[in-house]
Structure 1
Amino acid sequence: MARRIFGVIAVILFVGAVVAGLELYLTRPAPPPAPQPPDEQTALLPPTFLDQGWSGEMREAFYYTPQGSRLLPYAFLLALEQPGREALFLDDRHIAAMGFLPAPAASVRNPDRLPVGFAKDPAPGGPTGPMVGLTCAACHTGEVTLAGARVWIDGGAALGDFQMLMTRLSKALDATLADPVKFARFAARLKEVPQAVRPLLEATATELRRIEAAAYTPHPYGRGRLDAFGHILNAVAAEALQQDANFRIPDAPVSYPFLWTTPAQRYVQWNGVAGNPIGRNLGEVLGVFGHANLAGGNVAAFSSAALIDNLKQLEDWVATLKPPPFPQNLLGPVDPMLAATGAELFKTHCAGCHGGPEYRLTAPEETEGGRRWLAVTMVPQDVVKTDPKMLTNFAGRTAETGMLAPAFGGAPKVPAGGILLLTVNAMVENDLRARGITGDARKAYYGWRFAPGSDKPQAGWSAPLAYKAGPLAGIWATGPFLHNGSVPTVYDLLSPEDERPKAFYVGATRYDAKKLGFVSGEDELSAAEKAKAFRFDTALPGNSNAGHPFPEPRLKPQDRYAIIEYLKILEGPR
């Protein structure tokens, strides 16, 4: 299978050797995108924001602080055109068509108006200059259209199409190489000699073809979903470990989870396997082009492109993020009597797993210093009965150890998650040790997730196979629902399985305040809205909308609406 995963760093270094001696100046600041004709200019209105506890400055920092993701050269992205068009790849309309959020304006942190969650890496780079990649906000900034207003939800579930982005980048690079006129415009924007640019662009195009191929799945993810663990395990166990046999098709996409309250939770990720924040965040970087270096199997020398300090800073910012308040000024007032009825129903039927308005905390004796975390409930899959593919793909995946066999007692094959855990822990420890960060300062990087008297961070959930039932404050702004995004509204989730939509559209942002979710039905959307959205088919593998059969017997419609009314005002943990 022609999917051998080569690191972009190796490719760039190789090409750097080929063109050694050429006087390139790609490290100079790239010029701003060329002005576009009026029909290419975006008509998008500027976004508005809800009070989630962040200042504009903090929001901007979260949007553009790099985390160590290196996708392609920064200057190349600025100069790149769309395939088949002269318009720039970063044109607002093009970015929005892929579900990502164009920046409203240039700023000190984002002088070239990168889309939200695209960030320039601080490393000087090779002959192509600094790289650009993704940061947290690309997947964790939502958008909802409320009463005609574009409202951005900080820490919410994004609606970007990851596979579409990779495919269009790859095709844009290939088109630039194939078309002499397009290539001349590209080189002119870089202000470089075309002959010097071509081999570097060819290397970048080769790498993007590899990335596109590695992201291929028989059924597209669509908007707002990604098989994060599939990509992370491929990056570590196949690419970094140089074991082609360990590659698996990343075919268990999940919705991007919302971020508020996550820094306080005992377990995170849909399957609960992450037990400390720095390990979770570093693993995420490896899945989005963070480039793991396993140093020939020398665990003490493992490293990556991940920016550990930035990851900690991003986590600290998220810890201050509040759930988005339901905007009654835009969507109408909450019915207090109906919400009161819903509160009683929620307490009876929902709070046992999800908590709220009183939230359970871990026992003081579980964590060093008596620190307490939100005690999230892990619900076994055979109880919740939702689509199992995400769980089984991760738990059932094994990997050949290759150069890491000595670290696993000589075992030729181990669970792939074990290789990830070893890799992430070693990278964090190596980084902290190299900088002399010890004691309480070290433990702060791990979010203080240590058992009393232990020097090792606490582990995540392991068995049985289960999905996390997290807090629901702010849930109104985070559809579609279930871990795989297979149910469009809260009303549908509270309904029997046979009443849930078998297909719906993801990507339209008009909001349904009655059912709590996006307007998504075949008969509800215009032809233009459907053309820009993704049709979600629950009959496809990994897309099942079954499960969550709670409560039993099923609630009557008026009781479902009562719970919905209460969810609009459910407060998060204090």
Structure 2
Amino acid sequence: MSLATNTKPRRTWLAVLGLVVLFGIAAGVYGWVKFFREVPQPAWITDDPEMRFKYGSIGAEADAGIPYWIFYVLPRVFPDKLPGPGGYASFGVAWEQGMELPVGFTKKTIGFDRVANTCAVCHTATYRESVDSNPVFVPTGPNHTLDLAAFFRFLIDCAKDPRFDADVLMREINLVTDLAWDDALIYRYLLIPITKKRLLERQTQFAWLYHPAFPEWGRGRDDSMNLTKYFMIEWPMDDTFGPTDMPSIWNLGKYQADKGHRMNFAGDSHNAYSVVIDSALGLLGAPPKDNAEFLKQIDWMLDYLKAARAPAYPFAIDTVLAERGKAVFDATCAGCHASERTGTVVPVEEVGTSRDRMETWNEKAAYEANKVVTEMGIKREGLVEEPLRGYVAAFLDGIWLRAPYLHNGSVPTLRDLLEPPAKRPVTFWRGYNLYDRERVGYVTAGEDAEYYGSLHDTRLKGGGNQGHNYGTGLPDEHKAALVEYLKTL
């Protein structure tokens, strides 16, 4: 009798313990599924190299990703914070017909669907042959229409607004999708408040975007080294301001360190491997979760970019005139742009262009950034730990698609670049993708250019069009021949 009495409570206790364990396991599985389960992207992205470049994840969703439905409704809730009508399209993103997201925006499930970015957001060019034609997309080309600073400010400004609230956002989300009851609770009580908090935590790092003394970056420009200073090494804001054009990143294999080639406009990085790593880390916003997987992605990306080639000029070329232009090029341009000097740094005193980009970076910043990456356990040659002294003499492959010109995008067309600085346009509209075949660049004046573009004023900080006087004294017929030849590169 006594033994039976003692056994019954023990069985009850074991049953309760078993239920608790089962509940804990179920809760753990549920939590893993809802917050951490990683689902591979579909094969139409991962199996096609071009699609992978445009839409493939590089791992940014884990720390920098925004929950999909929050991302979806932000333009609907905050149209007043967009640069114009059209939702995310107003930022000048490259957006292919029929695609759910713009080029360079990734969607991946890690528990829940998240949206992040990849290199293609800044490095996919578009151009149109006529006013009523569809855009042609060129992966690895410079996205000269993207208003990156406006996109950054949009996210911060939304988070600062009282309307970034669970009631407001859930009301809008419920208009476009029917979330399961538990997903609705997760969005309301976890994802919306956490997303708001994480965006607001970035305010200090983005403070220089609101600096009253700084002009707008403008479409197609990026103050990349200040981004590195304020995000990677978390330096306090200073008075430097040096936006540059989005660069093309095709054919990176042409840069060879053993020939003294340097990367980035001011030659502040040793090689392409380092540039791709540092750019990807900027997109991740945090150390990689798995270094081996991250570096595997980097290796794939670098192989893709080495194999990519500049597109051929898509319009008719006067071959006779171009042949005459080659002689002009050989006499006027080849010394920097088709010689052993190509890819190396030319002193700023010689080229005479704006110093603003150089002044955003220094050897101490390079040392600190290299230290941060090394502490992540990532090995690369990295950033150059010495004073910057000029700008890299650019390779000219695909130069026809790389307008506006000079490192800061301050000269609208190749024909304008051959004019003395005093005769170059003082202001122009950048970011309109209608191609100008006559002057070789993009259309930068008129109602449409003004509607779609942003005003570049060469008199403002970071926008000067001085320097690079090569070829400015040529006769007009030689300039015309030279421009015709440059179309062939």
TM-score (norm 2): 0.79
User: 1:57–1:92: structure 2 CA closer, same or farther, 3 Å change rule?
Assistant: farther
CA distance in 1, matches of 2:95, 2:383: 38
Q: Deviations over 1:83-108 (max 9, x none)?
A: 54699x9x9932221110224335xx
- Pick the aligned partner of 1:273 from 262, 265, 268: 268
Given the alignment of the two structures, is residue 563 of structure 1 paired with residue 487 of structure 2, yes or no?
no
Q: Is the 8 A contact 1:80 1:172 kept in 2?
A: no
- 1:289 shift after superposition: 4.0
Q: Residues 131-530 of structure 1 correspond to what in structure 2 (within 5 A)?
A: 131-147=114-130, 148-158=133-143, 159-173=145-159, 174=161, 176-178=163-165, 180-186=167-173, 189-191=178-180, 192-194=183-185, 197-211=188-202, 214-215=205-206, 216=209, 217=211, 218-238=214-234, 246-248=236-238, 251-266=241-256, 267-292=262-287, 307-328=294-315, 333-355=316-338, 360=340, 376-395=343-362, 415-427=364-376, 430=377, 457=381, 460=384, 462=386, 465-521=389-445, 525-526=446-447, 528-530=448-450
Aligned to 1:133, what secondary structure does the other structure show? strand
Aligned to 1:311, what secondary structure does the other structure show? helix
Aligned to 2:135, what secondary structure does the other structure show? strand
CA distance in 1, matches of 2:317, 2:79: 49
Q: Which amino acid aligns with 2:332?
A: H
User: 1:488–1:211: structure 2 CA closer, same or farther, 3 Å change rule?
Assistant: farther
Q: Which amino acid aligns with 1:204?
A: T
- 1:130 shift after superposition: 5.7
User: 1:515–1:461: structure 2 CA closer, same or farther, 3 Å change rule?
Assistant: farther
Q: Is the 8 A contact 2:268 2:388 kept in 1?
A: no
Q: Which stretch shifts more, 381-390 or 173-182?
A: 173-182
Aligned to 2:311, what secondary structure does the other structure show? coil
Aligned to 1:555, what secondary structure does the other structure show? coil
Q: Is the 8 A contact 1:228 1:253 kept in 2?
A: yes
Q: Which amino acid aligns with 2:87?
A: H
Q: Which amino acid aligns with 1:541?
A: K
Given the alignment of the two structures, is residue 117 of structure 1 paired with residue 93 of structure 2, yes or no?
no
List gaps (5 residues or longer) in structure 1.
1-19, 31-54, 107-112, 239-244, 294-301, 361-373, 397-414, 433-445, 447-456
Q: Is the 8 A contact 1:279 1:424 kept in 2?
A: no
- 1:496 shift after superposition: 0.3
Q: Is the 8 A contact 2:64 2:116 kept in 1?
A: yes
User: 1:533–1:549: structure 2 CA closer, same or farther, 3 Å change rule?
Assistant: same
User: 1:78–1:227: structure 2 CA closer, same or farther, 3 Å change rule?
Assistant: closer
Q: Which amino acid aligns with 1:168?
A: F
Q: Is the 8 A contact 1:120 1:130 kept in 2?
A: yes
Aligned to 2:137, what secondary structure does the other structure show? strand
Q: Is the 8 A contact 2:325 2:482 kept in 1?
A: yes
- Pick the aligned partner of 1:93 from 83, 86, 91: 86
User: 1:195–1:220: structure 2 CA closer, same or farther, 3 Å change rule?
Assistant: same
**1:435 maps to which residue?**
none
Aligned to 2:226, what secondary structure does the other structure show? helix
Aligned to 2:428, what secondary structure does the other structure show? strand
CA distance in 2, matches of 1:305, 1:190: 36
List gaps (5 residues or longer) in structure 2.
1-27, 40-45, 257-261
Q: Deviations over 1:151-191 (max 9, x none)?
A: 11221110211121122234445465348354323266543
- 1:76 shift after superposition: 3.8
Q: Deviations over 1:108-143 (max 9, x none)?
A: xxxxx2210112467x36xxx464322111111011
Q: Is the 8 A contact 1:291 1:305 kept in 2?
A: no
Q: Is the 8 A contact 1:262 1:268 kept in 2?
A: no
Aligned to 2:86, what secondary structure does the other structure show? helix
CA distance in 2, matches of 1:531, 1:306: 43
Q: Which amino acid aligns with 2:350?
A: V
User: 1:56–1:510: structure 2 CA closer, same or farther, 3 Å change rule?
Assistant: farther
- 1:375 shift after superposition: 5.3
Q: Deviations over 1:371-413 (max 9, x none)?
A: xxx95131111111111011122027xxxxxxxxxxxxxxxxx
Q: Which amino acid aligns with 2:452?
A: K
Q: Which has the higher helix share?
A: 2
Given the alignment of the two structures, is residue 550 of structure 1 paired with residue 467 of structure 2, yes or no?
no
CA distance in 2, matches of 1:175, 1:146: 44
Aligned positions, number: 433
**1:533 maps to which residue?**
453
- 1:418 shift after superposition: 0.6
Q: Which amino acid aligns with 1:226?
A: D
Q: Is the 8 A contact 1:271 1:461 kept in 2?
A: no
- 1:426 shift after superposition: 4.7
Aligned to 2:411, what secondary structure does the other structure show? coil
CA distance in 2, matches of 1:308, 1:538: 40
Given the alignment of the two structures, is residue 104 of structure 1 paired with residue 97 of structure 2, yes or no?
yes
CA distance in 1, matches of 2:360, 2:480: 35
CA distance in 1, matches of 2:134, 2:76: 31
Q: Is the 8 A contact 2:223 2:244 kept in 1?
A: yes
- 1:462 shift after superposition: 4.1
**2:6 maps to which residue?**
none
- 1:305 shift after superposition: 11
Q: Is the 8 A contact 1:83 1:168 kept in 2?
A: no
Q: Is the 8 A contact 1:142 1:152 kept in 2?
A: yes
- 1:511 shift after superposition: 1.0
Q: Residues 29-48 of structure 1 correspond to what in structure 2 (within 5 A)?
A: none
CA distance in 2, matches of 1:95, 1:567: 35
Q: Which amino acid aligns with 1:144?
A: Y
Aligned to 1:535, what secondary structure does the other structure show? strand
- 1:547 shift after superposition: 0.8
User: 1:419–1:171: structure 2 CA closer, same or farther, 3 Å change rule?
Assistant: closer
CA distance in 2, matches of 1:145, 1:255: 19
User: 1:68–1:343: structure 2 CA closer, same or farther, 3 Å change rule?
Assistant: same
